[in-house]
Amino acid sequence: MTTVFSLNQINDIRGRTLRRPDTIVNDRIRQHILPFYNVSDQIWDYIKSTRAEVHDLENRLHNAKANVEQIQRLMSTWQDVPLYKRSEGKSTLLYLDDKEQRLNNRYKELDETGKKITGLLKENGELLKVENYDSDAWKNYVDYVDQMVLEGFRKIINCNLMFFLR
C-alpha cells in the first residue's frame, strides 16, 4: 500500500469514528512531508537556473567553434590560388606585368584576414569568459589557433611552389 492510500483510509475511518483530525498524523505530515514541497520549489529553481547556465555555455561554445571554423575558412581562401599566373597560350611563361599589383592585393587581403582572425580570437576570449589573458590555458588556445594559421600559410606556400614546378 502507498502512503497516500493509507492516509486516505485513515481519514475515512477517522471521519466515521473520530470526527476530529488525528493531530499526531497531521503533525508528522507537516514535520516530514511539507518541507519537501518547499525544497522541491527550490530544486525546480535550481534546475531552471542550471539549465539556463548550461544552455548559455552551449551557445557560447557553439559560437566559439563557429569562429574557429571561420578562421580555417579564411586561411583556406588562397591555398588553391597561386599568387602568379601563366601567360595565356604559353604554358611555361609567367605573366609578371601585374606582379606589383598582385603582391599588393595579396598583402592587403592577408592583412585584412589577419585583422578578422584577431577579432575572432578576441570574440572567443569573450565567449569563453577568459579572465586572465596571460593564463597558460589561454596561451595554449592561442597557440592552437596560431598552428591553424601556420598550416594555412604552409598550404599557401605549397600551392605557389607547386605552381612553379608545373
- Could you report the per-residue pLDDT of 13-47, keeping only the tens digit for each? 444 444 444 555 566 566 666 666 666 667 777 77
Note the pLDDT tens digit of each residue in 134-143: 999 999 999 9
pLDDT at residue 75 in the model: 87
Delimit the domains of the chain by residue range: 3-165
> Which set of grid coordinates corresponds to residue 5?
492510500
Residue with the three cell numbers 497516500: 4
Q: Are 113 and 75 in contact (CB under 8 A)?
A: yes
Note the pLDDT tens digit of each residue in 68-109: 999 999 988 877 777 766 656 556 666 667 778 888 888 898
Q: Give the integer Cα–Cα distance in Å for 25 and 8.
A: 12
CATH architecture of 3-165: Up-down Bundle (1.20)
Q: Are 159 and 81 in contact (CB under 8 A)?
A: yes
Backbone angles phi, psi at 85, to 5 degrees: -135, 165
**3-class secondary-structure state, position 138:** helix
Which among 115, 7, 124 has a CA at the least distance from the CA of 67?
124
Cβ-based neighbour number of residue 131 at 10 Å: 8
